Structure 1
Amino acid sequence: MTDKQFQTLDDFLGTHFIYTYDNGWEYEWYAKNDHTVDYRIHGGMVAGRWVTDQPAEIVMLTPGVYKVTWTEPTGTDVALDSLPNEQKMHGTIFFPKWVQDHPEITVTYQNEHIDLMEESREKYATYPKLIVPEFAKITYMGDAGQDNDAVINQTPYAGMTDDIRAGKFYDEHYRHTQA
């Protein structure tokens, strides 16, 4: 895990995180650049879902404290507050009713199924939303650099986050060590 001190927005951008919410859901998330995030979901009701090039609003609230927000094609809204110097996060996920009722539709590589996400959003109920506000512990931070397409580029598998934390997944250039 990186030991850098986060002070500026540039310190945050290019950082790859793994964190576990207090409810046990495990997420992997990458601040790809100042307007894009990539992520994989390893635990919770949509475990197995992964997304690249998700447009997001990324701001620094004060030195070392960051807020990231976005709306997915599913209609899910996300707000993350990150305090990497304290290895803490707080996330609020606003799941539309259809995602709560049919999470299996979203458990895929979203980028290849945008039409299905939009169709489902129109077909099924979106309200009431399931609001999941949770604190999380950051269990991994890696300096992947900005715009690194090798960070989140494959389907999550059981034990992936353990491999990443153990240094078995990326080499010194933040490229996959496994085929």
Structure 2
Amino acid sequence: MDKHFDTLADFLGTHFIYTYDNGWEYEWYAKNDHTVDYRIHGGMVAGRWVTDQAAHITMLTPGIYKIAWTEPTGTDVALDFVPNEHKLNGTIFFPKWVQEHPEITVCYQNEHLDEMIAAREKYATYPKLVVPEFATITYIGDAGQNNEAVINEAPYAGMPDDIRAGKFFTADYQRPK
């Protein structure tokens, strides 16, 4: 899909796949004006997925958006989307414990919040591993806001390719039965 972005309303409800210059691949959904969902397909926490993450979502200027949040792990994320140019700049601030024990976070976070909080309290959080990267947006889908079908299962090998090829969602952006 090649959608033009001008307003915050254009951005909300959009589903993206992007690949950072370091090779890490992420899938991300602007669920509404205060919530994001995402799956991680590549990188040190590949296999992790999260729904209903509270986030600050703003439009900096027409077609450019800033999103920031803090996860229960203590990881901070700041993303700058420039979707009209299929570009993104992201900075992830991983606590030391996530860098040393990434496997703890590779799960559906929503079902393991107590474990995330316990690990955050048990292990060192500083110094943080700061990962600033540019990314290329490789997929833009118009899923609509609050669509629970967008990020509702664990990532699998080849999932981003299936989504890009139109094999993952129906025409109305649902999962086939």
TM-score category, normalised to shorter length: over 0.9
Q: Where does residue 140 of structure 2 map in the other structure?
A: 141
Q: Where does residue 93 of structure 1 map in the other structure?
A: 92
Percent of paired sites with the same residue: 79
Matches within 5 A, 1:55-70: 55-70=54-69
Offset at 1:79?
A: 0.1
Which 4+ runs in 1 deviate beyond 3 A?
A: none
Residue deviations 1:140-163 (CA, integer Å, cap 9, x gap): 000000000000000000000000
Residue deviations 1:82-118 (CA, integer Å, cap 9, x gap): 0000000000000000000000000000000000000
Q: Where does residue 9 of structure 1 map in the other structure?
A: 8
> Is 1:114 aligned with 2:116?
no
Offset at 1:4?
A: 1.7
Aligned equivalents of 1:68, 1:135: Cα separation in 2: 15
Aligned equivalents of 1:24, 1:81: Cα separation in 2: 18
Aligned equivalents of 2:158, 2:42: Cα separation in 1: 11
Using structure 2 for the length normalisation, give the TM-score.
0.99
Aligned equivalents of 2:88, 2:106: Cα separation in 1: 23
Aligned equivalents of 2:127, 2:2: Cα separation in 1: 41
> Is 1:33 aligned with 2:32?
yes
Q: Where does residue 73 of structure 2 map in the other structure?
A: 74
Aligned equivalents of 2:102, 2:30: Cα separation in 1: 25
Secondary structure in 2 aligned to 1:17? strand
Q: Where does residue 165 of structure 1 map in the other structure?
A: 164
> Is 1:174 aligned with 2:173?
yes
Aligned equivalents of 1:105, 1:65: Cα separation in 2: 34
Offset at 1:176?
A: 1.1
Aligned equivalents of 1:87, 1:81: Cα separation in 2: 11
> Is 1:50 aligned with 2:49?
yes
Aligned equivalents of 1:5, 1:49: Cα separation in 2: 30
Using structure 1 for the length normalisation, give the TM-score.
0.98
Query: What is the one-letter code of the residue matched to 2:161?
Result: D
Residue deviations 1:20-68 (CA, integer Å, cap 9, x gap): 0000000000000000000000000000000000000000000000000
Aligned equivalents of 1:4, 1:91: Cα separation in 2: 21
Number of aligned residues: 177
Structure 1: segments with no counterpart, 5+ residues: none
Secondary structure in 2 aligned to 1:94? strand
| Aligned-residue CA RMSD (Å) | 0.5
Query: What is the one-letter code of the residue matched to 1:174?
Result: Y
